[in-house]
Amino acid sequence: MIQSTIRIAIPFQKRTEALKIINSIAEQCRDVPGCLSCHFYGDLREKDVLMLTEVWKTEEELNLHLRSEEYRNLLLVLEMSLKRPEVRFDTISSSTGIETIEKARIQ
């Protein structure tokens, strides 16, 4: 699995436009084969910061998404950023759930 994280600071005057574009991308992304999750957040402390996270099943499916027209629109939003956007791609080799907490708390 690959997790994509994008964190951008959008100027107030561009926020409505950016929200509309990113929300549309997030909604479409959820229906794309290989997309395991897609979430869009606003930072509560830094009001101008938005974050988009996606988890993809394979690198190939992620690459198809990166070449899509929808992703091109996201790149346009990145150009609106007040400062250099934070963009990360992390490979996830395994994942656990609440059982990890339960196991740690038992010890």
> Each residue of 43-95: pLDDT tens digit?
889 989 999 999 999 999 999 999 999 899 999 999 999 999 999 999 999 88
Distance CA 63, CA 88 (A): 14
Whether 9 has a pLDDT exceeding 90, the answer reads yes
Look at residue 10 and give its three-state secondary structure: coil
DSSP state at residue 12 = G
Nearest to 18 by CA among 84, 93, 26: 26
Conformational region of residue 35, where left means phi above 0, alpha means psi within -120 to 50, and beta covers everything else: beta
* CA separation, residue 10 to residues 6, 22, 41 (Å): 12, 12, 13
Return the structure tokens found at 67.
């070449």
Amino acid at 34: G
- pTM value surpassing 0.75: yes
The answer to whether 35 and 54 are in contact (CB under 8 A) is: yes
Return the structure tokens found at 40.
């869009």
